Amino acid sequence: MADDDIATRAPESDAQEAAPTETSSAIPGDSRVDQGPASMGEHCTTDRPTPLGETPTGEMTKFADVDTYITKPADYPHSPCKLLLLLTGGTGVHSTNNQLQADKYAAEGFLVVMPDQFAGDHAPGNAVSTETPEENQSLIDQVKQGISAVAKSFTIDMWLARHTPEKVLPHLHRVLKAVAEEFADAIASGGGVYTVGYCFGAKYALLLSTPPGKEDVAGENADDSKVEEGRVQDLPKIKAGAIAHGTQITKEDFDGVAAPMFVVAVEDDPLFPEEVRIDGVKKMKENGLECEEKVYPGVPHGFAVLGDYQDSKIVESQKDAFEQMLGWLKAH
């Protein structure tokens, strides 16, 4: 995790520096961005309030012994549909907001498979956040918040160390192989699997979009690689993908991407540095890959994940990002 092109540490600050500084985010609902690199933000590990009156319509099941949320179009299997693999941020497969996000794609005609990338170990501190303007907090509250942030920073770093490509990719490979057998009709209808990745999941949408041989960089060293020998060659191909405000992404993650890719990003996002994004998009285009990007200013990292915000600009950007990603998938 010592790559110059990737942020590797969660936000840290001394308790006495917990008061707002010039590095504090001015975006309503965003977490403070302290000086120094960051690995995951508040929006990667904490759900926004769920939109009122909305409840998930899919179901939890297991594929290859991996907990998986499945949600289908209302007319499936009577009408053909495409299969979409949705990869979440740290809040994981049991997050109501993530399930509702999957339902939104299902309502647009996709059979959505959302697997548990973390083997039941979602990011620590997963809870519903509330907007508490820092100017309304007492100094003591701000100091307490600073101490808590340092503790959470350490915990997140430990959690990330448990969820590397060597650990996560084998889970996803097993799910894809099982899904290919269960929903062969949907994969055939789309000519492959479509994928979207948010925050943590964005990196894996890129890695899974890399053809066999190149993607094995992680799989060959996986703990259960012997059991899964040949699994990459047997997997359905990724037809097209879209990622939103990725974390832990390196320039090298774009090297072998072979599926058309849409990139949603946040302006001045330390979790998805501009130089990584620009280099990655340039590399995909140089490789003859169809790709587009859209950068949203004045919104927090994680804005594209379903959840309520008080700021109308964030609300509109969230809707627009979904429409952009959805349109890209449908066009391919």
Sequence-separated (6 or more) residues with CB below 8 Å from residue 44: 89, 90, 91, 123, 199, 200, 247, 271, 301, 302
pTM: 0.78
- pLDDT reported for residue 41: 58
For 17-57, the pLDDT digits (tens) are 333 333 344 444 444 333 333 455 566 678 888 988 889 99
In 3D space, the residue among 91, 144, 147 whose CA is nearest the CA of residue 114 turns out to be: 91
pLDDT of residue 226 exceeding 80, the answer is no
Ramachandran region of residue 307, left (φ > 0), alpha (ψ -120 to 50) or beta?
A: left
Q: Pick the residue with more confidence: 281 or 39?
A: 281
What is d(CA 183, CA 185) in angstroms, rounded to the nearest whole number?
A: 5
Cis previous bond, 11, omega within 30: no
Contact by Cβ (8 Å): 302, 43:
yes
In the structure encoding, which two tokens stand for residue 311, read together?
């700021």
Average pLDDT over residues 141-156: 46
Among 190-204, 215-229, 292-306, 318-332, which stretch is predicted with the lowest mean pLDDT?
215-229
At 51 the pLDDT is 84
Which among 314, 244, 239 has a CA at the least distance from the CA of 272?
244
pLDDT in tens, 90-126: 899 999 999 999 999 999 999 999 999 988 878 776 5
Sequence-distant (≥ 6) Cβ neighbours of residue 260 within 8 angstroms: 240, 241, 289, 290, 291, 328, 332
Topology (CATH level 3) of domain 15-331: Rossmann fold (3.40.50)
